[in-house]
């Protein structure tokens, strides 16, 4: 597919486009200049695997646009690497390579959600903020984490507790890069796609049910482009209404994430982010059915779809895991004034925020996915 889709995230002076297509990385320099980015030096945050595959191509593209200095900085690829120490190391590398206040680099984030989250945070605090560009290399990052401006690191045993809102200047989703993903990474990304269908778009949910889930996993170009564009559009419209997560509108994006994040952290990252969110969606849907805010037939549609994606719907309980999940939930930044807050589906493509659910019901939902 040679056509490039453009989806604008309309945030006034912080607006930016998301470009979706194939072969975009080789045109990166040209795309940066079209966006009005005039820097001649770049600081590229990536990881060893992704950098080994794509850094040379990126560097060549930048050189062709007049970039004179391009520095590569690697961080660990997995979620456990998204920590304060790695964040500090990245900031130190920025200062070491660009000590002169007259030389402001463009920060380029080449990788998945870990690179995007940590790198966007570093770009936001270095010299009180330097411009950055997201180049997602995973399906999960392309459909979700690269858009919206939430950047953070894990700290003190709490996921994403240290962070800021910092919008990129540009997101370049080169779908050709998804071809290097492992089967597990690709499956993990479909979890966020299912999330969008589950609470934001009945049409997308039904499209996945009809067989486009398998076509997405097979990386059929037209389906990948269509699904990524749909998810980015859905997220952009939500973010435009609630950029700083103050109105409750953006909470829809947390479907499956409340229990999912707690499980991901408590299981010491034995699960990928997408795997934990898949289990979290099942727990949330069961809680919704139990509270009679969602009909049981939706759960009977959601669970098979998650299973078709090759994602887990439960995690075998280990000693103390239940208690660890509860402790992690108590630290959830969405919970306020001692009240829990859950995003629950009410049917395909719709949702409801429910607060202060009786804890025995929450315990029941958690235990149901620790079978």
The tens digit of pLDDT for each residue in 251-268 reads 999 999 999 999 999 999
| Predicted pLDDT at 2 | 59
Domains annotated on the chain, with CATH: 5-180 (3.40.50.1970), 183-218+244-368 (1.20.1090.10)
205/221 Cα distance (integer angstroms): 19
- The reported pTM is 0.96
Among 275, 132, 106, 75, which residue's Cα sits nearest to residue 190? 275
| Predicted pLDDT at 113 | 96
Maximum separation of any 2 CA atoms in the chain, in Å? 61
Would you say residue 292 has pLDDT above 60?
yes
Q: DSSP letters along 87-135, please?
A: HHHHHHHHHHH--STT--PEEEEEESHHHHHHHHHHHHHGGG---EEEE
Over residues 220-230, the mean pLDDT reads 98
Residues contacting 34, CB < 8 A, separation 6+: none
320/338 Cα distance (integer angstroms): 23
Contact 159, 264 (CB under 8 A): yes
């Amino acid at each position: 597919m040679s056509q490039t889709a453009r989806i604008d995230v309309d945030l006034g002076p912080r607006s930016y486009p998301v470009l979706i297509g194939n072969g975009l990385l080789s045109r990166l320099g040209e795309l940066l200049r079209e966006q009005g980015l005039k820097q001649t030096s770049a600081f590229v945050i990536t990881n060893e695997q992704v950098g080994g595959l794509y850094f040379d191509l990126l560097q060549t593209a930048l050189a062709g646009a007049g970039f004179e200095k391009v520095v590569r900085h690697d961080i660990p690829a997995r979620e456990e690497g998204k920590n304060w120490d790695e964040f500090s190391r990245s900031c130190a590398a920025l200062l070491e390579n660009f000590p002169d206040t007259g030389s402001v680099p463009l920060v380029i984030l080449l990788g998945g959600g870990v690179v995007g989250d940590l790198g966007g945070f570093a770009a936001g605090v270095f010299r009180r903020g330097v411009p950055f560009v997201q180049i997602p290399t995973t399906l999960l990052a392309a459909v979700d984490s690269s858009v919206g401006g939430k950047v953070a690191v894990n700290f003190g045993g709490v996921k994403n507790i240290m962070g800021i809102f910092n919008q990129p200047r540009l997101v370049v989703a080169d779908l050709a890069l998804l071809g290097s993903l492992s089967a597990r990474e690709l499956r993990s990304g479909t979890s966020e796609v299912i999330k969008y269908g589950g609470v934001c778009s009945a049409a997308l949910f039904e499209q996945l049910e009809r067989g486009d889930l398998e076509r997405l996993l097979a990386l059929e170009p037209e389906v990948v482009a269509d699904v990524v564009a749909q998810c980015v559009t859905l997220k952009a419209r939500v973010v435009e209404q609630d950029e700083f997560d103050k109105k409750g509108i953006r909470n829809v994006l947390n479907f499956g994430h409340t229990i999912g994040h707690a499980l991901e952290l408590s299981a010491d990252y034995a699960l990928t982010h997408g795997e934990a969110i898949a289990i979290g969606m099942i727990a949330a849907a069961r809680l919704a059915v139990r509270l009679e805010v969602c009909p049981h037939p939706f759960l009977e549609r959601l669970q098979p779809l998650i299973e078709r994606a090759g994602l887990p719907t439960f995690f075998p309980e280990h000693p103390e895991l239940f208690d660890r999940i509860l402790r992690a939930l108590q630290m959830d930044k969405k919970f306020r004034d001692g009240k829990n807050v859950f995003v629950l589906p009410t049917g395909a493509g719709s949702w409801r925020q429910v607060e202060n659910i009786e804890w025995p019901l929450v315990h029941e939902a958690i235990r149901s996915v620790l079978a």
